[in-house]
Amino acid sequence: MSFLWPGFLWALLLIPILVLLYLWSQKRRQKYALRFSTLSMVRQAVGKGPGFRRHLPAILLLSALAVLAFSLARPTAKVPMIASGGLIVLVLDSSGSMRARDVEPSRVEAAQAAARVFISKQPANSEIAIVAFAATAYVLQAPTNDKEQLFAAVDKLTLQRGTAIGSSLVVAINTILEYRGEPFLEWQRPGASDDGWPSSEPPALPETPGPPLDGSAIVLLTDGQNNVGPLPLDVVPLAAQRKLRVFTVGLGSTEGTLLQAEGRRARVVLDEVTLQAIADKTKADYFRAGSETDLKSIYENLGGSLVLKEERTELTAFLAGLALLLLLVSAGMSLFWFHRLP
């Protein structure tokens, strides 16, 4: 929490003074009450309520004044807000390992079904793009809010060799930057390898900070390990610097699954450590799916996480409302119990 006018915090020093004045007035009142000869008049002077109830209206009044004094400093805090105007990019693994049937009916069919569930749960005006990746990554569906187009794109997912998780993140980030009207990422530089990707040195971050979080996010699903293109954790800083969250979904098992295709057998292993790191570094979440039901549930519940953003908001109005409520409750209690204001 921070304050726009921190100098006004000195106003809080008035509260202990008011507490002391209240205690002094109560003591003086009791001394004055002893001069009366009848018990009923004593009760009227010191208050009819028993013990704590007699002081409750005053406590609420002092609390209201403390809240008002605190609000004078105009406190601000980061609070969750509903994001609008962003783009969600679904990144789907289309590598050959998605043929595995350890997830029924197959990994790719389970992923397609879950993607349909996710798309159907989004508000009608939500913009969604779809990126597919195997050895390379490409935009399968440009940003749109037409759900029929998105369903059709999911159905067109075709499997190929290779798993370029890092490349898919670059394409996803550029899709969002294009949607925002910002310059693309320039990854290729002198000294890059033949395929256009630097062999070890990660890209330099822009000097200027990225734009505020606008609700844009990336949802990455994969069942394997990166084996071509840039390393995913070299690309992640580019997303984090632009305040893009990358939610990751791991499909399959870390122990690995034997897959036989095109006359060859290979063990497919889920790189859960990298997926967890991607999510952590972009302040998002990692999910593990071991079945089609798990996957559908994850995608169905992801929508609520994607529409939230953190925004620094001034709390003055909220605190003023709270103080007013305390004042009204204090006055109501005092009138109801003692037929007078505190």
Per-residue model confidence (pLDDT) at position 270? 83
**Contact (Cβ atoms closer than 8 angstroms) between residue 179 and residue 87:** yes
The whole-number mean pLDDT for each consecutive block of 10 residues of the chain, a chain of 342 residues, reads 81 85 76 56 50 77 88 79 72 90 86 91 87 94 95 94 93 92 66 44 46 76 89 91 90 68 67 93 89 83 62 81 88 78 68
Tokens for 114, please give them. Answer: 């879950």
Q: Residues 102, 72: one domain? A: no
Q: What is the pLDDT of residue 200?
A: 43
53 in the same domain as 180 = no
CA distance 151 to 116: 6
Give residue 180's pLDDT.
86
Report the CATH number that the domain containing residue 98 is assigned in CATH: 3.40.50.410
Residues 12, 151, single domain; the answer is no
* pLDDT, position 4: 81
pLDDT of residue 154: 95
Q: Domain count of the chain?
A: 2
| Measured distance CA(181)–CA(239) in Å, rounded | 16
Geometric angle at alpha carbon 74, from 71 and 78, rounded to 5°? 110
Distance CA 27, CA 142 (A): 75
| Residues 50, 122 share a domain | no
pTM of structure: 0.64
Q: Do 289 and 329 fall into the same domain?
A: no
Both 8 and 64 in one domain: the answer is yes
